[in-house]
Structure 1
Amino acid sequence: MLAKTFLAIYFLLLILLSGSLKQVQKLLSAHEASYLQSLRNLKKKINLLQSNAGKQATRATNSTCPKLEPPVNGRKLGKSHSVGHEVHFVCDPGFELVGPESRVCQESLTWNGQQTACRYINECASSPCLNGGTCVDEVNHFFCVCAKVFVTMTNTSAATSPDTAAASTMPAATSGPLVRPSRCTITQGTTHCTCEPGYTISGRDSTTCTDIDECELFHNGQAGKLCLHACVNTPGGYRCSCPAGYNVTRDGRSCKDIDECATRQNNCTKDQTCINTYGSFQCVRVDCPKIPNATYVKTSPMRCERNPCSVDNKACSQAPNSFSYHYLAVVSNLSAPRVMFRVSAMRPIGDTLRFSLLGGRQARRHFTVQRSDRVTGQLMLVSPVQGPATLEAEVEMSELERRVPLGRYITKVTMFVSQYEF
Structure 2
Amino acid sequence: MIPAMRKANPCHNGGSCSDGVDSFFCDCLAGFQGQNSCFNGGTCVDGINTFTCVCPPGFTGIYCEHDINECDSKPCFNGGTCQDSYGTYKCTCPQGYTGLNCQNLVRWCDSSPCKNRGKCWQVDNSYRCECTSGWTGLYCDVPNVSWVDVAHLCRNSGVCMDRGNTHFCHCQAGYTGSYCEEQVDECSPNPCQNRATCTDYLGGYSCEVRRLLIRDIKDNYYYYYY
Give the structure with higher Rg (CA).
Answer: 1
Which is helix-richer, 1 or 2? 1
TM-score of the two chains, using structure 2 as the length reference: 0.35
Q: TM-score with structure 1 length normalisation?
A: 0.21
